[in-house]
Structure 1
Amino acid sequence: MKKLILSAAIILGSMSAFATILPVQNPQNQSVLLQEEYTEVQAEAVPQAIKTAMEKAYPGAILGKAYINKNKEYKLEITVGDQNATVYADAEGNWINK
């Protein structure tokens, strides 16, 4: 009887020796923000269509700086009253949400 209990204990002990805990993998989301290259242009170089759209959408806005990228999209830093904003438009004066 002692040999039976001792054998059972050895067998159960050896089974637990090979039990391993698997590491839990937490999925991680990575986001990559690609910064578009804009080059500064003079305010006079901004197309009239954009200036007209700006006057219509933001009455009294003052154009501070203007930038353009390779897709002919404009980044405009404007001041309306005492607030500063950055808006984006294409060459035809259509607003772009970024």
Structure 2
Amino acid sequence: MKKLILASVFTFVGFTAFAQPSETAVEETVIVSATQDGFSEIEMSELPEAVATAVSTSYPSATIDKVYVNDQKQYKIDVSLEGGTTGTLYADENGNWIEM
């Protein structure tokens, strides 16, 4: 009789353990703006014409890969050359090269 009562108790405890309400996982999407050294990435269309002209004049074989801007309207330009060499150029909004 004791075994029957213990088996009933264990069965009841086992069923109540599985009767717990399940939690629904909610995924949240967060959009993060990439910021490097105070520079935020921008679209190529936002690059001033003076800066694009300065790059094409000084580095005719360069291809602009990414463009970043900071609060002082200074532009960080990641470029790649024909030979596979990559580099970073810095210019102000008027297309003048600056040292960083």
| Class of the TM-score when normalised by the shorter of the 2 chains | 0.5 to 0.7
Separation of aligned partners in 2, 1:89 and 1:79: 16
Aligned-residue Cα RMSD (Å) equals: 1.2
Shift of 1:50: 0.5
Could you tell me the percent identity over the aligned residues?
36
Q: Which ranges of 4 or more aligned residues in structure 1 deviate by more than 2 Å? A: none
Shift of 1:36: 3.7
Alignment of 1:3-82 (within 5 A): 36-81=37-82, 82=84
Give CA deviations for 1:6-37 in whole Å, capped at 9, x if unaligned: xxxxxxxxxxxxxxxxxxxxxxxxxxxxx841
Partner secondary structure for residue 53 of structure 1: helix
Letter in 2 for 1:92: N
Separation of aligned partners in 1, 2:81 and 2:45: 19
TM-score when normalising by structure 2:
0.61
| Rg larger for | 1
Match of 1:83 in 2: 85
Separation of aligned partners in 2, 1:75 and 1:56: 17
Separation of aligned partners in 1, 2:79 and 2:45: 14
Separation of aligned partners in 2, 1:36 and 1:83: 22
TM-score when normalising by structure 1:
0.62
> Structure 1: any 5+ residue segments left out of the alignment?
1-34
Partner secondary structure for residue 95 of structure 1: coil
Separation of aligned partners in 2, 1:48 and 1:42: 13
Partner secondary structure for residue 72 of structure 2: coil
Separation of aligned partners in 1, 2:37 and 2:52: 22
